[in-house]
Amino acid sequence: MELWLKGGPPDIRIEGRLGRVEVRVQPELGQVFRNKRVLFTLSKDNDVQWIKDWVQFHVRIHGADAVLLYDNASTAYSARELEAELERTFPGVTIRVVNWPFRFGPRVWRRRDASGNERRISSKFCQAGALQHARFRFLQKARSVLSCDIDELVLPSRAGGSVFRAAETSLFGAVHFRGRWIGDAGAGRGEQVPRHADFARYDASDKAGCPLKWAVVPWRCTRAMTWSAHRVKGLENYFTRSSRFAYGHFSEITTNWKYNRTARKAPSDAARYRVDEALLRAMQTAGLQGTFQPA
């Protein structure tokens, strides 16, 4: 739920059946990202090199000039340490890493409603809260925002266009686009920590692909619209969907926090894989280092 207050005291006290919570109202920091093309994500314990590769790709390919990362209580490093490392690596990019130490919440379960129909319920309040917090505390003055995960690289359009520019020049100030899984064709991760550029193959038999991701111009969103993981609710429609953009979703770039994504596939699966030439070219253009070699 969201509570909107007009004016009121600088501190808020909420009392209910779960107890009492006192909240100190924080200042709005939109000036930090004014007129910036911001790369946004929520992350927990992802390898720092993965994060660097992810930032480098979107800076060089799409022209991102700012990063807003919500760190969900990582144990491998602190939010401050990660921010300092990213600032050293990308001196021309505005970097903010926000400490976001909250439980992720039950993701999906099933229950029956009063009519006996089965419903899927999702309460990802950590992610939902981060999106709304980022939107209203940091991003209201941003030029545009791209929301994607560390294991996702957004391809440019065939003409080399930026997804930020596509959102900025679109009719509704937003673009939604689909992706597909990029895997290892049965080779396995091996002993070394993998990198995005170690992989560039996709399963040609997978017609479902991956859910939508999006880029948006924040000030074009009304308060009734909600930013979620896979769409801007209230804005996503036929006119905001774009076939000019897509993203690669890397199955091996993961801590397996949700489920075991890196289990080795049967060798027979390898015949279904094809090289994603556009993704491979984009990673090479971005200067990502990896071991991938086309057959």
Which pLDDT score, from 0 to 100, does residue 111 have?
A: 66
pLDDT value of residue 5: 79
Whole-Å CA distances, 24 to 13, 79, 125, 198, 256: 9, 21, 20, 46, 35
Strand blocks (E) in the chain: 11-16, 19-24, 37-43, 66-71, 94-99, 109-112, 118-121, 144-147, 152-154, 174-183, 201-203, 210-216, 226-227, 232-233, 247-250, 273-275
How confident is the model at residue 267, as a pLDDT?
47
- For residue 215, the tally of other CB atoms under 10 A from its CB is 32
List beta partners, residue 77.
none
8 Å CB contact between 181 and 205: no
Q: What is the pLDDT of residues 142-194, one digit of tens each?
A: 999 999 999 999 999 988 899 999 999 999 999 999 999 998 765 555 567 89
Rounded CA gap, 39 and 17, in Å? 38
Task: Tell me phi and psi for residue 79, to 5 degrees.
Answer: -60, -40
Residue 283 burial (10 A CB sphere; 0-12, 13-18, 19+): buried
DSSP letter string, 195-215:
-GGG--EEETT--S-EEEEEE
3-state secondary structure 12-78: EEEEECCEEEEEECCCCCHHHHCCCEEEEEEECCCCHHHHHHHHHHHHHHHCCCEEEEEECCCCCCC
The predicted structure's pLDDT at residue 108: 65
Taking a C-beta distance cutoff of 8 angstroms, is the pair 94, 36 a contact?
yes
Spans in the chain with pLDDT lower than 50: 267
Q: Round to whole Å and give the CA distance between 154 and 248.
A: 6
Q: Report the distance separating Cα 281 and Cα 200, nearest Å.
A: 10
Amino acid at 265: K
Q: According to the model, what pLDDT value does residue 88 have? A: 98
pTM, entire model: 0.91
Give the model's pLDDT for residue 263: 58
* pLDDT of the residue at 152: 98
